[in-house]
Amino acid sequence: DAVAQPFAAPPAPACVAPKKATQADTLLTDKIAAANRSIDAGKPGTWTTLADLAQYACAITGDRLPADAAFRRCFRECADERDIYFARWIYAQTLERFGDLLGAENQYLAALQSRDDPENAYLAYMSYATMLERHGRTRDALDVFDLGRAMAKRNLPGAGGTKEVAKQLAKWMKMVT
């Protein structure tokens, strides 16, 4: 009989090794410029251009410095709370993929703190807990959030529901007991 299984925490795909550029990467330059224009505009949605830059840096160039600079600039200059939250969430994922687990953990915590209402930080809670579990810190993953608070205001289409989250927490609890 087929039975629903709790989701497993697959390894985060590692970023490519830094490449020695023999010529300027014009697409990278364009993505940096787009991120800067978006921050300068001060309109909501900046996090999407930052995500695009981070993905390109991780998957194509292997150089995280341009992404680091763009994210840090947004943290200083972006006024939209939602942009800051999602930028920190994306940056945490990017840092994990680059192998910087401490940096990723700090960004997840900053994302959680950036929300006026922590109950609206579902993505950061789940991503942070999953990262901890993926790296052998199952007990810490269980302690990350209060399921009731995190799920009370969940309103993300396609996100795992209460039953799926409860199954994952039960799986983690079995691992540590």
Prediction pTM value: 0.75
Give the number of other Cβ atoms within 10 Å of residue 15's Cβ.
23
pLDDT score of 153 = 47
Per-residue pLDDT of the chain (177 residues; tens, 9 = 90+): 444 444 555 677 888 888 766 566 899 999 999 999 999 999 999 999 999 999 999 999 999 999 999 999 999 999 888 899 999 999 999 999 999 999 999 999 899 888 766 667 888 888 888 898 888 887 787 777 555 555 554 555 555 566 666 676 677 667 666
Tokens read off for 44: 């909501």
The enclosing H or E element of 150 equals helix 147-152
pLDDT at 133: 85
Check: CB of residue 98 under 8 Å from CB of residue 58.
yes
- CB-side exposure of 40: number of CA atoms within 13 Å? 6
Query: In this predicted structure, what is the pLDDT of residue 3?
Result: 44
Residue 88 buriedness (CB in 10 A; 0-12 / 13-18 / 19+): buried
Q: So what's the pLDDT on residue 36?
A: 97
DSSP character string of 118-139: GGG-HHHHHHHHHHHHHTT-HH
Task: For the chain, count helices (H), then strands (E).
Answer: 9, 0
The confidence score (pLDDT) of residue 124 equals 87
- Rounded CA gap, 59 and 126, in Å? 23
SS3 92: helix
